[in-house]
Structure 1
Amino acid sequence: MRTNIVLNDALVAQAMQLSGASSKKELIHNALRELVQARKQQAESRQGFIKKYINHPIKLDLFQPLSRDEANAR
């Protein structure tokens, strides 16, 4: 896909230096790839939480009260 966008020059220069990308095109592709990967991991993490705790809540009757000393010892 071809598109024209206006980018912050200082931000692009800093990103080029940090990433080691050889072109702006490579920089943008890498940034998009990392963004997609990070968002997928966040979504998977949320789904894992939902499956574990929302769909199968912790039963409070399984908990035993601890004294302050017992709690601090752990």
Structure 2
Amino acid sequence: PGSGDVTDDGQASLDQVAPAISVAKSVYRTHDGGAQCPGGELVQGRTGTEVTWCFVVTNEGDTTLVDVGVSDPALG
């Protein structure tokens, strides 16, 4: 154990990732299992009118995403 300088040469690499997603939500009047998705931004109708909500989740980042889910508490 001395108090001299210690040096070392080595290489290190770092992979930086930038995960990102975008979510688009739309709606249309009627229910057909999503056949008309994507819908629009607005639906007019009487109380009880059936509507379909459409969600498109897109990976906007540069890495693979796993176990991505969509939850909308307002829809129940």
TM-score, normalised via structure 2 length: 0.22
**Whose RCO is larger (CA < 8 A, sep 6+)?**
2
Q: In proportion to residue count, which structure has more strand? A: 2
Higher fraction of helix: 1
